[in-house]
Chains A and B, each alone.
Chain A
């Protein structure tokens, strides 16, 4: 019987493990293999060139610039998104004026919660089109149109939001933050609601204000959720392919003049447009390594003693 049971379990495990190895792990290994060749991407003829692709990578100014942009995203996207989400979640759940019982959101918080979640419903592709219209570089763009109506921008010289080297990254960050805040707000809200009310009541009785309540009680008890959010946003910041490639100028985006380039767009251009697929695979391997490092570092850096309640 027991023998049969083992076989039963093994039967179930083998297939998924095999699937995982073949469809997840094997492509990684293959990519690494290709990254050591001069594969051009349209046939199976290539030769082994060792680490040449990798040495070339570190002299490729465009790719290095792209890494730098990813790092900027990595710094700003998680920080801004989490801070905003935390602030809103706190106001919605515990930010109300101290009424009886003491712990409630600001007036109308149920409604806000739903509205804040709206952006999350949109896919990134729709988002790119939507914000394309918002940032449009002539009087037909939402922001430009508005600024022109207010007389802040001259009609003959509209702001080309996505075509300005100094603005394009911020314009993109704003989209991601706009998209993400709602989701993390709901995530944090759920976590906040799990915090026993007695703790808040006790704090109130001791005379703690909003700020104290937040920093001394809410944040420490939310730490696990914040950590999760951090890693997720970090990974998203390492990608950014969809937004950059659809919203900015040039083939697979990255414009103007590589000022919004991210690793994924450089990789795609090399892979498909230039026919330097082996080189692109090397970029893919570097991306994988960097993303792994980022995840590990973020998990380590945010590790704290867990508060049990």
Chain B
């Protein structure tokens, strides 16, 4: 512990005012002991996050003049602190963005690409010293509902109502695929920008289908027939990522939504006392999935596998179908055989379904947020506005192999992979027939409880009736939480 440590220990909030002006010329040991005493409490005061708030010195020095082309008043020479979840999409796209941003605005950025979003950011949020823009995704995402309840998120209305970069006559909001903003909504406010356009459903290999003369099953009965034929050939019917029951919930919930329509879906999101028990759609949906289990059409062992393990097995033709979202292709790039011909399809229909076969769960993922206490708010807002330009959207499609929520956001010259291409076709076919659950974003605890029940169901340890009971119990429990009443969708 040298004196340099003390001198350079300027906390982010300038809380080092407790340092005495000078230590005086005494003997060395005494001095270092004294410094130890003074420095240490200061540091711990910062790191132990007991100091609260702070950070009131924000926008003063980063606020520039606003103009038509600079609606938020980005100040040249200011700094932007960017944190990107470095997962399936990597973070090369963000680096390309930041380079473009610096070129245009002269704002240098500090880039952090990490998988440990919570570990790195939670202390910073607590200390009132968050970054300026964050891709809050991945397994260690800080739940959006939790951040929101702590007033840590900026209401993005200003960005969404600003003029679009490509066509200043339009608002940014109007250049996006309809419905894609919903996922970032908390209490009627959009506080997270889910940037990547995602569809969820079933995936299969075009090659395997061709070899066996199968066609995309449009009804659940056809689906089961294919599973049966596959079983005869020692191929599993359905694979799922058993260690993470999130994925099989996609299948169950989609069946419920397609059978019962948007009302069945909203009943769950709105914590209806008859969301599961007493809902015919829910009963039909979960019984259909259980039929797959009961008839032995699951890929052997799939219940205990991680997502990569089961997806890789599926790539090795050990199963016909797997449930996942449109990140699947990018995630499995290395494991997919060249002639695999990955294809996406909507969930097949149960009898008497309200929605057509083409209906899909579609929406957006990968939430980008601007912390309410960001130091450089103007630049952060401008950065997000530029993310929703065609130029940046194309950059993203090139680097991360996925679509964004910007309507026609990819230059025609960019060649898409077969799986991504099939998702584009599926969402065109779906048109307005899309749906998107929100309870996963609103209620982490209820989501976990339903996931656990699904895990038990897939392992044949509980029956559909018991699953419905447990899912309803999770809904009822959530409904009792006084804070749950604020989230509602119509």
A and B: interacting chains: yes
Q: Is the CB of B455 within 8 A of A257?
A: yes
How far apart sit A257 and B32, CA to CA, in the bound complex (Å)? 54
Grouping DSSP codes into helix (H, G, I), strand (E, B) and loop, the A interface class, with mixed when no group exceeds half, is loop
Q: Residue B142 at the A interface, CB < 8 A?
A: yes
How far apart sit A40 and B152, CA to CA, in the bound complex (Å)? 12
Q: Is the CB of A155 within 8 A of B41?
A: no
Q: Residue A30 at the B interface, CB < 8 A?
A: yes
Q: Which residues of A contact B242 (CB under 8 A)?
A: 137, 160, 163, 249
User: Smallest CB–CB gap between B327 and chain A, Å?
Assistant: 18
Interface residues of B in 239-256 (CB under 8 A from A): 242-245
Interface residues of B in 107-133 (CB under 8 A from A): 118, 122, 125-126, 128
Q: Is the CB of A27 within 8 A of B151?
A: no
Q: Is the CB of A30 within 8 A of B50?
A: yes
Known: A42-B150, A163-B304, A275-B146. A26 touches B128 (CB 8 A): no
Q: Is the CB of B150 within 8 A of A137?
A: no
Known: A15-B36, A41-B146. A162 touches B304 (CB 8 A): yes
Closest A residue to B296 using CB positions: A156
Q: Which residues of B contact A138 (CB under 8 A)?
A: 299-302, 304-305, 309, 313
Q: Which residues of A contact B126 (CB under 8 A)?
A: 41-44
Q: Which residues of A contact B455 (CB under 8 A)?
A: 163, 249-250, 255-257
Q: Residue B64 at the A interface, CB < 8 A?
A: no
Contact for A274 among B32, B445, B459, CB less than 8 A: B445
How far apart sit A30 and B48, CA to CA, in the bound complex (Å)? 8
Q: Is the CB of B150 within 8 A of A45?
A: yes
B137-169 vs A, CB cutoff 8 Å, 1 = contact: the mask equals: 001101101110111100000000000000000
Q: Which residues of B contact A141 (CB under 8 A)?
A: 301
Q: Which residues of B contact A30 (CB under 8 A)?
A: 48, 50
Q: Residue B104 at the A interface, CB < 8 A?
A: no
How far apart sit A256 and B147, CA to CA, in the bound complex (Å)? 28
Q: Residue A56 at the B interface, CB < 8 A?
A: no
Q: Residue B451 at the A interface, CB < 8 A?
A: yes
Closest A residue to B47 using CB positions: A23
Chain A CB within 10 A, most for which of B44, B139, B299: B44
A-B contacts counted at CB < 8 A amount to 155
How far apart sit A118 and B139, CA to CA, in the bound complex (Å)? 32
Q: Residue B333 at the A interface, CB < 8 A?
A: no
Grouping DSSP codes into helix (H, G, I), strand (E, B) and loop, the B interface class, with mixed when no group exceeds half, is helix
Q: Is the CB of B448 within 8 A of A250?
A: yes
How far apart sit A274 and B30, CA to CA, in the bound complex (Å)? 47
User: Smallest CB–CB gap between A269 and chain B, Å?
Assistant: 7
Q: Which residues of B contact A18 (CB under 8 A)?
A: 36-37, 40
Q: Is the CB of A22 within 8 A of B41?
A: yes
Chain A CB within 10 A, most for which of B41, B149, B301, B303: B301
Q: Residue B229 at the A interface, CB < 8 A?
A: no
Closest A residue to B125 using CB positions: A42
How far apart sit A22 and B43, CA to CA, in the bound complex (Å)? 10
Q: Is the CB of B302 within 8 A of A12?
A: no
Q: Is the CB of A15 within 8 A of B313?
A: no
Q: Residue A1 at the B interface, CB < 8 A?
A: no
Contact for B152 among A11, A42, A165, CB less than 8 A: A42
User: Smallest CB–CB gap between A41 and chain B, Å?
Assistant: 7
Q: Is the CB of A26 within 8 A of B44?
A: yes
Q: Is the CB of A275 within 8 A of B30?
A: no
Q: Is the CB of A15 within 8 A of B451?
A: no
User: Smallest CB–CB gap between B79 and chain A, Å?
Assistant: 23
List A residues at the B interface (Cβ < 8 Å): 7-8, 10-12, 14-15, 18-19, 22-23, 26-27, 30, 40-45, 135-141, 144, 155-158, 160-163, 165, 249-251, 255-258, 269, 272-275
The 3 A-B residue pairs whose C-beta atoms are closest, nearest first, are A137-B304, A138-B301, A275-B146
CB<8 Å pairs between A and B, sample of 14: A18-B40, A27-B48, A40-B146, A138-B300, A140-B309, A144-B301, A157-B300, A158-B300, A163-B455, A250-B243, A250-B451, A274-B146, A275-B145, A275-B146
